[in-house]
Amino acid sequence: MNDLESRLSRLTSATGGPPVLPAADVSYALHDTQIGTLLLATAAGRVVASSFGDEETMTNRLARAISPRVLRQPAALDDVRRQLDEFLDGRRHEFDLEVDLALATPFQRLVLSDLPSHTSYGRTTTYGRLAGEIDRPKAARAVGTALGANPLCVVLPCHRVIGASGALTGYAGGLDAKRFLLNLESKS
């Protein structure tokens, strides 16, 4: 056995397969959907990201906010991916996932923490109405900005918030994605 073979043999596990990596503090996967590629991430069993952001930016953000141990481990996100696919196929109307707003600012936490209770599947609200419901009636634009940077897109349904005129306004995944989600929900 030469030196290279000897070093490689130390890298294999007792079963002869590749080494098994320990669970990461943050596990993530890229998931292709009808509305685009989402970066999904979990930490301590909670979903911390469902984002349209690019992989490098999001993993750096996760490393800064939660832990530098961020690994691409798709198996850890099987349930999240399954529920997301069911939702996007119209077979699920609510997510049964624990979420953590670790990537959100304090104001985003205020806006996002009760968002599902302010909107329901197939129904929309406006930025102004949502601002009033969180006791910030003059903060409609700030609410829009907070929703535009929602780290848990689709899971926390910021797509259900529209302009006072009924117009579709900004969405991290683009207006086509927002339109898709609203049309999907209106069919049910």
The catalytic site residues sit at 158
- What 8-state DSSP symbol labels residue 44? T
Beta bridge partners of 51: 39
Cα angle vertex 66, ends 61, 69, to 5°? 90
Whole-angstrom Cα distance, residue 88 to residue 135? Answer: 32
* DSSP-derived 3-state class of residue 83: helix
Assess contact for 177 and 185: CB atoms under 8 A: no
**CA of residue 136 relative to chain centroid, distance:** 25
- What 8-state DSSP symbol labels residue 46? E
Beta bridge partners of 41: 28, 49
